[in-house]
Chains A and B, each alone.
Chain A
Amino acid sequence: MRLLPGLALWAVALAMAWLLPGHLWHPAQPPPFPMHALLPAVLALLAMTALPPLLVFLIGPSLARKRTLSALEAPPDLVWALLLLALWPAMAGPPGWTAWIAVLLAASVPGETRWLASALPVEMPFPRAWGPAATRASRFQSLRRLVPRWLAARLPLWLTASLVAERVLGLPGLGSDWMARVGGRDHAGLAAWILGFSLLWLAARPLERAAA
């Protein structure tokens, strides 16, 4: 019963994608799904999802006050990209996606780590007084509740960042596949995207309940 309003919304989105009005001057084949972008996208997402929680779990809420983290967090995100472009030897050709994922991580991980570390409850005097095992258990429980919400808040931002990388730098990505399918009036392809998102939403429901 609790799922019904959400499912109804997804059904409306599906119907809108299927019935998208308009047509093309010269009908074109729908673009092939960017399968080649899946691996870099999944790797980047895994790294972004795993690194900050892992660091916070290992170091604890004191990480939010560490000067080294501040030093890494202080430069604007674009500085890392500019540094790569400035220092990368032009003779070697354009930097590949592994280099750009490293830039993305350098720009994002410190900020994300601080966000998570600041949100953890204080550990002094308890659970620190009860020993390392209790401290780890407390951190684990807190992160279990924090991480799904953190991901939900940050995913749209990362998707936008990937869109910029795709359009400006010609890197493989999934973001502009949407636009290509809207532009090409690929009703079936758009509906498949909506269906995929709705399944993700359904799969995330148990996480949401656990966090509540």
Chain B
Amino acid sequence: MKGEGHEQFIAQALTGDALVGLSAENRPVPRLAASWKVVPGGLDFTLRSDARFTDGSPVTAADVIWTLQAIEADPQASPTKRAALGDLKASGEGLRVRLRGSRPVARLLLELWRVPIAKAGHGDMGSGPFALQRSGTDWTFTARPGHFLHPQVPGLHFRLLPDEAGRLLALRKGWLTIGVPPPQPGLTPPSGMTEIVQPTLAQLIVWAGPGSTPGTLRSLAKWRAEAFPPALMGRAYAPAKGLWPMALGFREMEPAPGPEPCPAALELAYTAGDGVLERQLQALAVRAARDGVTLKLRPLEAGLFLDQLTKGRLALGVITNVFDPDPWSVLGYMEPGGDLNFTGWIDAGTPPLLAELGDPKSPAWKELQALWARHPAALPLLDLHSVVWVDRRLEIKPCALGIYLATPGAAGWRWRE
């Protein structure tokens, strides 16, 4: 219920089942729900009859209703789940579940994967393809043989290795089946491993605070194309284009031109302690200096950084965000109280457009993007890719959500004969 963050979502995708999953191609696919029907005002689901919680009890509509109500009632519950559910109300009995709310159905189907269903009254019991045993920082997930996704691998064992050099050593020694290599250019996987590069929806984004001028983001858009030398980046990063993640289907659009010049001195705050990010921002500062602009870099501790950013005390702040694989995820930039609307961005033209976004192909998206381009509050600097080294004998399907979060995810992996 309360778990938030990438690791939590991985653990929940392994030990729990949402009504709907997302395929490797980001399409909604059946998971706990065997089928669904679009009806006026929402969706009607039919649950699978063979889904079982870890205690052996069947998954029913009562569990779905309890999970959704518990998330709504608990202000401490995961903000991502609360945002994904919105004003959704659940009802039903037996294996029939009715969901009603004001969200467009297409959006709802793409966001429900975030909310695994727990057993009524037991927030930590799921029905997923793996069962979790925790021992300190070591997490072991054991396959549940009767699960409807038919997991092919016997289990997964996670080890936390925060240091990049330590991780590389463990990968080269053959102590890991899957691992994330350090983001250095020129690294090649050891002979027994292969590299998987997954274009994800994560971006390094610079936010312009209330005090900055429109010329600032225009200059940053110019610099980002040439600031980052390939030797600095490795395969995990690529310079971003446009205003919103183009992998979500948005066209390339730069901030609209205007007469305001870029100030001669800028201050860019970022989260301290990340050496890779530091080097990338230094490269940006070098590029800015060629245009006569002094870009001063200001490291801040993560919690303090966010505090200053959300209170509008930073002229420019850099942070990494992972978007959901649906176009509605960019609305966080412009909806009042949106999770990405740090600077209180507002425009009188947005409310009528927001009402017309029921379809991902609606022409209102283009108008909304043009409106945002006139005075954007944020600009992506880099697109982040997920680079993992995987044992050659293991068959894994890459996808934009990463190797764990899609359906069937880890349940679909198998050892080659």
Interface string of B152-164 (1 = CB under 8 A from A): 0000000111110
Is A139 part of the binding interface, using a Cβ–Cβ cutoff of 8 Å?
no
Bound: A93/B175 CA distance, A: 6
Is B276 part of the binding interface, using a Cβ–Cβ cutoff of 8 Å?
no
Q: Which of A29, A167, A176 contacts B3 (CB 8 A)?
A: A29
With a CB–CB cut-off of 8 A, which chain A residues contact B137? 34, 36, 170, 172
* Chain A interface size, under 10 / 10 to 19 / 20 to 34 / 35 or more: 20 to 34
Is B39 part of the binding interface, using a Cβ–Cβ cutoff of 8 Å?
no
With a CB–CB cut-off of 8 A, which chain A residues contact B310? 23
* Chain B interface size, under 10 / 10 to 19 / 20 to 34 / 35 or more: 20 to 34
Interface string of A23-51 (1 = CB under 8 A from B): 11111110000111100000000000000
What are 19 A-B pairs at a CB distance below 8 A?
A20-B303, A21-B307, A22-B304, A24-B302, A24-B303, A26-B5, A26-B79, A26-B80, A27-B76, A27-B79, A28-B5, A35-B136, A36-B137, A90-B175, A94-B173, A166-B162, A167-B166, A168-B165, A169-B161
In chain A between 166 and 182, which residues have their CB closer than 8 angstroms to a CB of chain B?
166-170, 172, 176, 182
Is B292 part of the binding interface, using a Cβ–Cβ cutoff of 8 Å?
no
| Residues of A bordering B, CB below 8 Å | 20-29, 34-37, 85, 90, 93-94, 166-170, 172, 176, 182-183, 185
What is the chain A residue whose CB lies nearest that of B2? A29
With a CB–CB cut-off of 8 A, which chain A residues contact B4? 26-29
Chain A proximity of B178: nearest CB distance (Å): 15
With a CB–CB cut-off of 8 A, which chain A residues contact B95? none
Bound: A166/B3 CA distance, A: 24
With a CB–CB cut-off of 8 A, which chain A residues contact B305? 22
With a CB–CB cut-off of 8 A, which chain B residues contact A183? 302-303
Bound: A94/B160 CA distance, A: 13
What is the chain A residue whose CB lies nearest that of B169? A85
Beta-carbon contact of B79 and A167 below 8 Å? no
Interface string of B18-54 (1 = CB under 8 A from A): 0000000000000000000000000000000000000
* Interface of A (DSSP majority class): loop
What is the chain A residue whose CB lies nearest that of B303? A22
Bound: A180/B181 CA distance, A: 22
Beta-carbon contact of B2 and A169 below 8 Å? no
Chain B proximity of A107: nearest CB distance (Å): 18
Beta-carbon contact of A22 and B136 below 8 Å? no
Beta-carbon contact of B306 and A22 below 8 Å? yes
With a CB–CB cut-off of 8 A, which chain A residues contact B175? 90, 93-94
Bound: A36/B306 CA distance, A: 32
Closest 4 CB pairs of A and B: A22-B303, A36-B136, A168-B166, A22-B304
With known contacts A90-B173, A168-B165, A36–B307 Cβ distance under 8 A:
no
Chain B proximity of A120: nearest CB distance (Å): 39
Beta-carbon contact of A176 and B162 below 8 Å? yes
With a CB–CB cut-off of 8 A, which chain B residues contact A28? 3-5, 8
Beta-carbon contact of A185 and B136 below 8 Å? no
Beta-carbon contact of A170 and B2 below 8 Å? no
Beta-carbon contact of B136 and A25 below 8 Å? no
What is the chain A residue whose CB lies nearest that of B305? A22
With a CB–CB cut-off of 8 A, which chain A residues contact B57? none
With known contacts A22-B306, A36-B136, A170–B159 Cβ distance under 8 A:
yes
Q: Which of B3, B160, B301, B304 contacts A170 (CB 8 A)?
A: B160
With a CB–CB cut-off of 8 A, which chain A residues contact B78? 26
With a CB–CB cut-off of 8 A, which chain B residues contact A34? 136-137
Beta-carbon contact of B306 and A25 below 8 Å? yes
With a CB–CB cut-off of 8 A, which chain A residues contact B159? 170
Bound: A91/B136 CA distance, A: 24
What is the chain A residue whose CB lies nearest that of B174? A90
What is the chain A residue whose CB lies nearest that of B167? A170
Is B135 part of the binding interface, using a Cβ–Cβ cutoff of 8 Å?
yes
With a CB–CB cut-off of 8 A, which chain A residues contact B166? 167-170
Chain A proximity of B299: nearest CB distance (Å): 14
Q: Which of A23, A93, A167, A169 contacts B303 (CB 8 A)?
A: A23
Is B264 part of the binding interface, using a Cβ–Cβ cutoff of 8 Å?
no
Bound: A182/B273 CA distance, A: 14
Bound: A36/B80 CA distance, A: 30
Please name 5 further chain A to chain B contacts, defined as beta carbons within 8 Å, in addition to the given A25-B319, A34-B136, sorted by A numbering. Answer: A22-B301, A22-B305, A22-B307, A168-B166, A183-B303
With a CB–CB cut-off of 8 A, which chain B residues contact A172? 136-137
With a CB–CB cut-off of 8 A, which chain A residues contact B307? 21-23
In chain B between 276 and 313, which residues have their CB closer than 8 angstroms to a CB of chain A?
301-307, 310
Bound: A169/B79 CA distance, A: 33
Beta-carbon contact of B169 and A24 below 8 Å? no
Interface centre among B2, B137, B169, B305 (most CB of A within 10 A): B137
